[in-house]
Amino acid sequence: MTKQDDPILTTRDVAARLGVSVKTAQTWIEQGQIESWKTPGGHRRVRASAVDALREQLGNRRPASNQAENAVALVVASGAALPSYVEAAAAAGLRAIGQSDPLNAMLDAGIAMPAVIAVELMRGDWERLSMCRRLLHSRDLAHMRMLLVTDMPAAQLEADLGGLSRIALLPAPADKPAFAAALVACLSLAPSRDQDALPYPVAANEAARLRAVERTGLVDSASDPEFDEVVQLTAETLRVPISLITLLTPDRQWFKARWGLNAHETPRSWAFCNFTVMQNDAFVVEDATADPRFEANPLVTDEPRIRFYAGAPLRDAEGNALGALCAIDRQPRVMDATQKRRLANLAALASNRIALVTRKRLDRWNRGA
């Protein structure tokens, strides 16, 4: 293997490649789970082959079955409650791992790939809430379900975690029988691997598309004036209050740039852009309340109360659809041919900027920067 085929990665690159936080990647490198060396400036560097070897190792540790007797359960709770919950999980037939520290729990989750994670989450516990959010957003834990033993209302949790489709709630405090039963029931919340059962269309090359999204390194990156400029220009050109550059991950619609909207992301199941990436030209919904595909969508029934949507796919240099440039209005409207052409041109501009960012990132890998 040549150096070009096996590029040098920074710690941040390692985190992106494995779908974990930078802190987790740093810990794994320092623990020797990924072979590394230090530059004269004291920065850790890693070969891509070492990262890929660990990723394959982690993938082989995923549960082979959704049945409780073959599943791993990670239990995160206070020191006082942890022994009881671990015993309950074991009594339910799961292979239980107990942890009280949120950081160590994230490390254990990355190594064990549990089928279900049970978390004692009480009001004001921001560290565990942040941990839950990170675990739910992890690409490698897209198979995972979560049980929250909590005193927080469902509405607050949904606002904090971005949807409860993979989460079961159990009022705190919980006794052993209730906890064990809730864990087993939580296993039935698995996201379906059957594409026909998903509430949105998925392309035949979805796996390659997701790898292309990962390759950009843009998901969860900081705001960038070059992309912010595109959504502002789109909103002004098409005279809409909201414009977004979206990227579709396995379970999220993440906004690389946004105009007129405060949210940073939505669950993927809510994304109009699922339909946009399936075609070559603009996808237009003139009135979402009159479209059976979207009339019950939370983005339609609640804020931002989408009525009009127009999206054009964003593609990488190989033609993979990464997400969309979309224009949104709170009022129904019609889009003419000229406006569709302008949206397509702006999407091409955004695609070119994505391709440039991706190329620069790959060049940095090859130089070991």
CATH number of 206-367: 3.30.450.40
Give residue 206's pLDDT band: very low, low, confident or very high (50, 70, 90): confident
Please tell me the predicted confidence (pLDDT) of residue 345. Answer: 96
Q: State both tokens at 243.
A: 């414009």
Phi, psi (degrees; rounded to nearest 5) at 278: -90, -5
Question: Per residue in 230-256, pLDDT tens?
Answer: 999 999 999 999 999 999 998 889 999
Phi, psi (degrees; rounded to nearest 5) at 257: -145, 150
What's the rounded Cα separation, in Å, for the pair 112 and 104?
12
230: CB partners within 8 A, 6+ apart: 245, 257, 325, 346, 349, 350, 353
Question: Per residue in 108-148, pLDDT tens?
Answer: 888 888 888 999 999 888 999 999 988 887 766 777 888 99
| Strands ordered across the beta sheet of 72-76 | 95-99, 72-76, 116-121, 145-150, 167-171
Report the CATH architecture of 8-60.
Orthogonal Bundle (1.10)
Give residue 365's pLDDT band: very low, low, confident or very high (50, 70, 90): low
When pLDDT is averaged across residues 62-82 and rounded to a whole number, the result is: 69
Alpha-carbon distances of 257 from 232, 261, 323, rounded to whole Å? 9, 10, 12
SS3 content of the chain, % helix, strand, coil (to 5): 45, 20, 35
What's the chain's average pLDDT? Answer: 84
Q: pTM, whole model, 2 decimals?
A: 0.52
| Top-confidence residue, 64 or 151 | 151
When pLDDT is averaged across residues 25-39 and rounded to a whole number, the result is: 74
Where do the domains of the chain lie?
A: 8-60, 68-189, 206-367
Q: Is the pLDDT of residue 4 over 60?
A: no
| Top-confidence residue, 324 or 88 | 324
Please tell me the predicted confidence (pLDDT) of residue 32. Answer: 67
Phi, psi (degrees; rounded to nearest 5) at 367: -85, -10
Helices (H), 45-153: 48-60, 82-91, 102-112, 126-137
Please tell me the predicted confidence (pLDDT) of residue 3. Answer: 52
Cα-to-chain-centroid distance, residue 82: 28
**How many Cβ atoms are within 10 Å of 50's Cβ, its own excluded?**
17
Share of residues in the chain with pLDDT > 70 (%): 84
Alpha-carbon distances of 5 from 49, 212, 243, 366, rounded to whole Å? 9, 17, 38, 8
Please tell me the predicted confidence (pLDDT) of residue 191. Answer: 45
50: CB partners within 8 A, 6+ apart: 34, 35, 36
What's the rounded Cα separation, in Å, for the pair 18 and 67?
26
Please tell me the predicted confidence (pLDDT) of residue 1. Answer: 46
The residue among 287, 292, 283, 216 whose CA lies nearest residue 254 is 216
Tell me: domain 68-189, CATH 3.30.470.20, correct? no
The residue among 4, 49, 2 whose CA lies nearest residue 363 is 4
